[in-house]
Amino acid sequence: MSETKTHAGGCHCGRVRYEVDLDLAKPVIACNCSMCGKAGTLLTFVPAESFRLLSGEAVLREYKFNHLVIQHLFCGNCGIKSFARGKGRDGGDQIAINARCLDEVDLEQLNVQKFEGKIR
């Protein structure tokens, strides 16, 4: 059964903290691109209005690669990439959440789907 809930998340050191409304019954993505594959991220996507950054804007650092359209953000203190900012296919603002950075989520219960993101 699908259900949108509010989840808390953030980086390792705790400087970056956020809340996000999402449905973890929906699949999360295990992408094998050069970034996600090395970081081991499990991604789920939400509209920007479903995301609230509570703290850490000042410590966030940005990294862009490939088409330079996704703001891959990481904590400048501990280096953890807990979310990214970008645009959805509809052109609207979107947030990519690293499900591994959500508090109290049993990763074994997630529906993980592989995504071929490697540039060949």
With beta carbons less than 8 A apart as the criterion, state whether 112 and 98 touch.
no
Q: Which helix (H) or strand (E) is 55 found in, with range?
A: strand 51-55
pLDDT, position 76: 96
Fold exhibited by the domain 5-115: 2.170.150
Model pLDDT for residues 48-78, shown as the tens digit of each residue: 999 999 999 999 998 877 666 788 899 999 9
pLDDT, position 78: 97
pLDDT, position 36: 77
Closest CA to 24 of 114, 85, 94, 108: 108
Question: Which residues, given as ranges, of the chain have pLDDT below 50?
Answer: none
Q: Is the pTM of this model over 0.75?
A: yes
pLDDT, position 120: 64
pLDDT, position 116: 67
pLDDT, position 68: 66
Rounded Cα distance, 21 and 10, in Å = 14
Please report, for the chain, the start and end positions of each structural domain, with discontinuous segments joined by +: 5-115
Type of residue found at 80: I
